Each structure stands twice: as C-alpha cells, then as structure tokens.
Chain A
Amino acid sequence: SQQGEEDPQALSIQEGENATMNCSYKTSINNLQWYRQNSGRGLVHLILIRSNEREKHSGRLRVTLDTSKKSSSLLITASRAADTASYFCATELRGGSEKLVFGKGTKLTVNP
C-alpha cells in the first residue's frame, strides 16, 4: 500500500478561485514535499515542510502539515490557467532509507 495518497484525484476550478489539495500518509515522516508536473514534463519542487513545522508559504502557495492526523494540504490562491498540472506529495519516512515516496497525484485544471 502507498505511503501518500492525494485527494481529490482530480479538481477543476475557474481562474481566480483557490485550489486545495490534500495528502494523507500512513507512517511517521521527517519531511513532506509537494511537486508539480506539467503534462509531458518532469516534476518541479514546490515546497518542503519538516515534521516540526505546521505551515509554510511560498508566493501563492500555502502548505500545512498536521502530524497528528498524518495529513498535509496544499492551497493555491488566486489560481491561474498556468497552474494547470498534476500535483504530488512526497514523504521521507522517519527511520527509513532516506528516499521519497510519492503519492498518485491530484490533477488540477484551471479554466480561463
């Protein structure tokens, strides 16, 4: 079974709206990362949040981490058509082999 699971699998919104994606995981982590993948391209790192942090911001992105619920959320505010992409969470397991385990992603479509 997978470590990280994003929810929803797909999300369609209008430009200007906010988009929220969630990630749940099963075991304790050292850090959680969010990546974006545009169609046909490689993944691009967005933000890293460590297990002792609760919230981080980067531009229009806001990431929260709740270790008691083993979940994280990625909020994109004032979305743009260019935000259309798949978004993946990745976790580094605590006491693991220092590898990232990726979820299946949320496909976000922002309609102009």
Chain B
Amino acid sequence: DTAVSQTPKYLVTQMGNDKSIKCEQNLGHDTMYWYKQDSKKFLKIMFSYNNKELIINETVPNRFSPKSPDKAHLNLHINSLELGDSAVYFCASSQNRAETQYFGPGTRLLVL
C-alpha cells in the first residue's frame, strides 16, 4: 500500500558504471519529481514530469536521464557514475505542481 515506492533502497557501485533507479506512485498524481539530497541534507530538485512531459530540468549533467513511461512511473538512469553522484535520491509526486508532495523512502547511492 506504499504511496510512493522506489527501488532499489541501496545501491553500491563502481565509478564508471551505469545504473537505474525506479519510482512508482499509486496516488493517481499527475506530477512526479526526482530530488538529490547530499551529505549535508540539502535537498535539490533535479527533474519534474507532468503527465509524462518533462517540465523541470535543473542544471543536471547529461549523464542523468529521466524516463516516464506512464503517469505512475518515473525512472532515473545514470551513466558513467562518478564519486560525486553519491547521495540519497528521492522520488516524489503531487497532484498539482508545487503543492503538497509525497516522497518515496529514498535510494542511497554509494559510488566507490
């Protein structure tokens, strides 16, 4: 019954690898987001999709590519992982843009 779920919860990988994180929401929301939280707990938006359309694309390296196959899913693919990509990545959703957001449990990515 989890409203916003992410997989995997933990991801440990070597530099240079490619990895994906998946997100699903069962709230019927139109808008989904990816956030990055660094080691100092600073949370920054990366991408936002509304009805499968990209509406926010912050200054994020091209190595990060979001994909929304349908309204309920927003996946994040990361190519050529770097040490600085180590962080917690959160998926979130909301019914209306910039209104109440519901967050997933996070994916803890560690790049070695």
> Which A residues have a C-beta under 8 Å from some C-beta of B?
30-31, 33, 35, 37, 40-45, 48, 86, 88, 92, 97-102, 104-105
Contact = CB atoms under 8 A, between A and B. Distances in A.
Contacts of A35: 103
A87 B48 CA distance: 23
Given A45-B101, A98-B55, 10 more contacts: A33-B101, A42-B4, A42-B92, A42-B105, A42-B106, A43-B90, A98-B97, A99-B56, A101-B45, A104-B42
A57 B48 CA distance: 30
Interface of B: 4, 40-45, 48, 55-56, 90, 92, 97-106
Contacts of B106: 40-42
A88 B100 CA distance: 13
